[in-house]
Structure 1
Amino acid sequence: MHTFTRATAKKFALAGAAIATALLLAACGTEDDGMSGMDHGGKSTTASATASATPSATATASASAEAAAPGAFNDADVMFAQMMIPHHEQALEMAKLADGRAQDPEVKKLVAAIERAQDPEIRKMKAWLKGWGKPESAGAGHGSGSGHGMAGMMSEQDMKDLAAVKGEAFDRKFAELMIAHHDGAVAMAEDERKNGRNASAKNLADDVVRTQSTEIAELRKILDRL
């Protein structure tokens, strides 16, 4: 009886050890499953981060689109951009002629200011027209595609006369022509301020009136002392 009890106890001990081992393995399996769950959670977090980054990229794209086509616009806004682009381009052509010809320091200073302001404005207006789905030129129908019909635009002869002089003669001619050119730009900008609808275009018109009116006053002072 005593021997049987010891053998039985030994069997029970072995069975208990086997059960303990099985429980330990089961626990490890559960732990692994938990880690797997954590891994999935990590992937989910990464996916969420990517998803949350996507709206930002979309917002950036939307911001770019908004910069190209900033809000509601009307025919006056379109005409303002279409006419002001070649007007500005001619001002830049006049400014380029000053290189090697201009003598007066104030004239050179104004030339630099014109180049600094009008080149970015040209790019901005071209972006607007592209965003609005409108051509850069108003076309022959409006008589402004080649610059005709726009106040202050120089003729080919005016440009040739300006290119033919140097020194003080250039400074005087440049000032005279640029005053007329700026007067035309200010008139177009004032029309945009009155009839335009687009906020960005009207803001640019404000800048043109303010900046070019100041430059007209400076050019007149230059003419007075030359």
Structure 2
Amino acid sequence: MKVSTIGASVLVVLTVLLVSRCVAAEPQTHSAVNHPPSRSGPAALPTPTGSVSGSFNGTDIAWLQLMIPMTEQAARLLELAPGKTSNPRLKRFAEEYVADRRTTLQELRDLLRRSGVPESNEHEGHDIPGMVIPNDFAALKRADGEAFDRLFTKDAREYLTQSVLVAKGLQKSGADPETKAFAAALEKTYSGQLPRLEP
């Protein structure tokens, strides 16, 4: 399910579910079980568990566990673009932001490590808004020129849009001050990057 194929109201509901579903959940034992793909509805977030640091709540952990794989895939998307795009503007966009995504990924991992919850991809195989999935990469690798540019722009825009939405949700429902501040910084940065993907 992608941002472009669902209505705005559905996206808002999905964002709330993704970010705040486990706010009231009490930590127990961490599970790294891979969940089956979900193409007909939102992927259920696992209840974040383990030895969670006192400043983190379930929403903080769920946000980090979502943003890490989303950011990994976004970095791969940006790395792919310079060799495939025919558009100098998109090439500059990708080259400017790929290092930023690597830095962001490290900061997300550092926050998760500080929370005491081990890293695992709770969203492996999930087709959720903002996630660039294997089918997307296969299509990107087959495409050239303007066809690649359209796919790249769509996927990059969806990643940034969803990242902004869940960052807003984290700021409202999260607990850890450093994680909330990082989410606020990402929201501002990514909101500023979105206009660069307009035609």
Task: Quote the Cα distance in structure 1 between the aligned partners of 2:137 and 2:56.
Answer: 34
Counterpart check, 1:209 vs 2:192 = no
Q: 1:208 to 1:160 in 2, by over 3 A?
A: same
Q: Are 1:79 and 1:138, in contact at CA under 8 Å, matched by a contact in 2?
A: no
Task: Give the SS at the match of 1:102.
Answer: coil
Of 85, 103, 126, the match for 1:102? 85
8 Å contact kept, 2:127–2:133: no
Letter in 2 for 1:202: K
C-alpha displacement at 1:84, in angstroms? 0.4
Of residues 85, 94, 97 in structure 1, which corresponds to 2:68? 85
- The match for 2:149 among 145, 164, 171 is 171
Measured against aligned partners, the alpha-carbon deviations of 1:136-172 in whole angstroms (never above 9, x if no partner) come to 1263xxxx2x162642213322211111122232222
Q: Residues 60 and 179 of structure 2 are in contact (CA less than 8 Å); yes or no, is this contact kept in structure 1? A: yes
Counterpart residue number, 1:219: 197
Choose between structure 1 and 2 for higher RCO, CA contacts under 8 A separated by at least 6 residues: 2
Whether contact under 8 Å (1:129, 1:135) holds in the other structure is yes
TM-score scaled by structure 2?
0.67
Query: What residue in structure 1 maps to residue 104 of structure 2?
Result: 121
Q: Which residue of 2 aligns with 1:192?
A: 170
Tell me the residue number matched to 1:17.
none
* Higher relative helix content: 1
Supply the AA of the counterpart residue of 1:108.
K
Q: How does 1:3-18 map to 2 (within 5 A)?
A: none
Match status 1:161 vs 2:139:
yes
Extract unaligned runs of 5+ from structure 1: 1-68
Q: State, as a whole percentage, how many aligned pairs show the same letter.
A: 29
Deviations 1:188-226 (A, max 9, x none): 111111111112211221122112222222101xxx3xx
Point out 4+ residue stretches in structure 1 off by more than 4 angstroms.
none
Matches of 2:98 and 2:136, distance apart in 1: 20
Provide the residue aligned with 1:31 in structure 2: none
- 1:73 and 1:200 map into 2 onto residues whose CA distance is 10
CA distance in 1, matches of 2:65, 2:125: 10
Question: Matches of 1:147 and 1:101 in 2, distance apart?
Answer: 25
Larger C-alpha radius of gyration, 1 or 2?
Answer: 1
SS at match of 1:103: coil
Which digits, 9 at most, give the CA deviation of each residue in 1:52-79, with x for residues without a partner?
Answer: xxxxxxxxxxxxxxxxx99822111111
Partner of 1:18: none
Residue 130 of structure 1 corresponds to 113
Distance 1:127 1:155 in 2: 24
Give the structure 2 partner of residue 46 of structure 1.
none
Q: 1-side partners of 2:133 and 2:111: how far apart?
A: 28
Q: CA RMSD in A?
A: 2.1
- Note closer, same or farther for the CA distance 1:138–1:116 as it changes in structure 2 (3 Å cut): closer
Gaps of 5+ in 2: 1-51
Question: Could you tell me which residue of structure 2 aligns to residue 38 of structure 1?
Answer: none
